[in-house]
Amino acid sequence: MAAVYSDLAGKVVLVTGGAAGIGAAIVRHFAQQKSNVMFFDIKADEGQRLARELSDQGLAAHFQRVDLTDIAALRAGVVEARKAHGAINILINNAAHDERHNTEEMTPEYWDDRVAVNLKHQFFASQAVLPDMKAARAGAIINFGSVSWIAGQGGMAAYTASKSGVIGLTRSLARDYGPYNIRVNAIAPGWIMTERQLEKWMTPAGEIELQQRQCLKRRLVPDEVAKFTVFLASDEASACTAQHYIVDGGWV
Ligand SMILES: NC(=O)c1ccc[n+]([C@@H]2O[C@H](COP(=O)([O-])OP(=O)(O)OC[C@H]3O[C@@H](n4cnc5c(N)ncnc54)[C@H](O)[C@@H]3O)[C@@H](O)[C@H]2O)c1
């Protein structure tokens, strides 16, 4: 760990989608900052393994299996988390699912399913933790977007629509809750080499495109997004709210 943000020690942090990918790196980084981290995911085995790995190191990380597309379960998960670990200070709305889809085959049901996994839970997780932050007159919410819609990526219209919606959500919440000293920001990652990206989407043609389009001529890794996330959640970023930060090595 390079930077230490002393204000993050002891903070209660909730990370969604924390069992894999960028979310798992974020969980690790907050745990290393000595925050009390809770994370939700549908991947029970991976979640339990990560919580065990961190608690074996004497760090505080607690996993709950929650399907975030089930808003009642999400709300119950937040109530349980609060009961176990106290009022939530920081929320990282990270979970998503970047499955590609064909526009002509889209059904109303699949559209709703894509919005549920890529946007809707960010609003309801925020709604669930805002009373804690209002009472504390402090808090930070970070919503995960994507550069895909800025870059004009095709083959995933419901995903890109959801991810562009993250910006509107972020700016509205920042306006409404700024008077309570609650900061709300969004991070838009570029192409970050998670296990899923490497397994599903990285191809020789993709590697060539990366080398051409990114300013930095190398693969970006989840740690690089996590490092920025802990900074943005910390008091070092105390004047930053209602913004959308791109972490993409200069792709867009
Ligand atoms: N990796 C990239 O290249 C990239 C690019 C742009 C944006 N992003 C964004 O960054 C964030 C993290 O992406 P990632 O690449 O680490 O994704 P990932 O697919 O590797 O991990 C996402 C995590 O969310 C969990 N999740 C998915 N659906 C869930 C549900 N219904 N309930 C609970 N948990 C659920 C998954 O199980 C997984 O652990 C996402 O918001 C994504 O849109 C990533």
pLDDT tens for 104-149 read 999 999 999 999 999 999 999 999 999 999 999 999 999 999 999 9
pLDDT tens for 194-205 read 999 999 999 999
The reply to whether 1 falls in a domain is no
The reply to whether 223 falls in a domain is yes
Q: How many domains does the structure of the chain reveal?
A: 1
Question: CB–CB of 48/248 below 8 Å?
Answer: no
The yes-or-no verdict on residue 246 having pLDDT over 80 is yes
The Cα–Cα gap between 186 and 19 comes to 20
The reply to whether 2 falls in a domain is no
The reply to whether 106 falls in a domain is yes
- In angstroms, what is the span from residue 194 Cα to ligand 1's centroid? 9
Would you tell me the crossing angle of helices 157-177 and 108-115 to the nearest 10 degrees? 40
The reply to whether 252 falls in a domain is no
Domain that holds residue 78: 7-247
Nearest CA owner, ligand 1 atom 17: 21
Q: How confident is the model at residue 1 (pLDDT cuts 50, 70, 90)?
A: low
CA distances from 173 to 16, 130, 170, 201, 250 (A): 18, 10, 5, 33, 28
Average pLDDT of the chain, as a whole number? 98
The preferred substitution site among 91, 170, 194, 203 for testing ligand 1, maximizing ligand atoms within 8 Å of CB, is: 194
Closest by CA position to 15, among listed 31, 4, 2: 31
pLDDT tens for 39-73 read 999 999 999 999 999 999 999 999 999 999 999 99
The Cα–Cα gap between 162 and 126 comes to 16
Would you tell me the crossing angle of helices 121-136 and 157-177 to the nearest 10 degrees? 20
Q: How confident is the model at residue 102 (pLDDT cuts 50, 70, 90)?
A: very high
The reply to whether 173 falls in a domain is yes
Rg (CA), the chain: 17
CATH of the domain at 80: 3.40.50.720
Catalytic residue (one of 159, 177, 180, 245): 159
> How confident is the model over 71-81, as a mean pLDDT?
98
The reply to whether 71 falls in a domain is yes
Q: Which residues fall within 8 angstroms of residue 108, CB to CB, at 6 or more apart? A: none
End-to-end CA separation in angstroms for the chain: 28
pLDDT tens for 138-196 read 999 999 999 999 999 999 999 999 999 999 999 999 999 999 999 999 999 999 999 99
pLDDT score of 2: 83
The reply to whether 95 falls in a domain is yes
Residue 159 designated active-site: yes
**DSSP-derived secondary structure for 117-174:** IIIIHHHHHHHHHHHHHHHHT-EEEEEE--STTTTT--S-HHHHHHHHHHHHHHHHHH
